[in-house]
Amino acid sequence: MSSSLNTLRDDLIASLHSDQAAASRISDRLGDREFVRHLVEVCEPFDDYTNDPRMEAAYYLSIAPIGSLAAVAASLEGLLRLPLDGETMDSSVSCHLVQCLGRLVAEVGFSPSDDVAHLVERT
């Protein structure tokens, strides 16, 4: 596990608990596509952390600039296909990811694959 992802997870947890400095560090980087890819990585199930960083990463993805989101659309769909190895996607994470796909559909005409399209149609 990379130390940069661990640092990001720590910032996400701090942000969730109203740390404005952490929230600003995250918000300031949402236009960086590589950073947005790291947020997607944090959303993946990882046993050493609670759902807190996953939920907060998904929230930040839901407000990321559409150009950054478009670069990770396939990964977002993959996350919504969980369960993976028996772990389910927590609703506090998946609702933000569905919101991301909804924005992609509305703002850039993204066509989700059939197996997740029904999720976007409900939003």
pLDDT, tens only, 52-65? 899 999 999 999 99
pLDDT (average), residues 73-78: 90
pTM to 2 decimal places: 0.88
- Segment 14-52, tens digit of pLDDT: 999 999 999 999 999 999 999 999 999 998 876 667 788
pLDDT (average), residues 77-98: 71
Q: Does residue 85 register a pLDDT over 50?
A: no
Domain ranges, residue 104? 3-121
Q: Residue 86: its pLDDT value, please?
A: 43
Task: Collect all residues with Cβ–Cβ distance below 8 Å to 39 and sequence separation of at least 6.
Answer: 8, 57, 58, 60, 61, 64
Q: Residue 48: its pLDDT value, please?
A: 67
Residue 73 near residue 97 (C-beta atoms within 8 A): no
Q: Number of structural domains, the chain?
A: 1
Q: Residue 84: its pLDDT value, please?
A: 47
Q: Cα separation of 55 and 16, whole Å?
A: 9
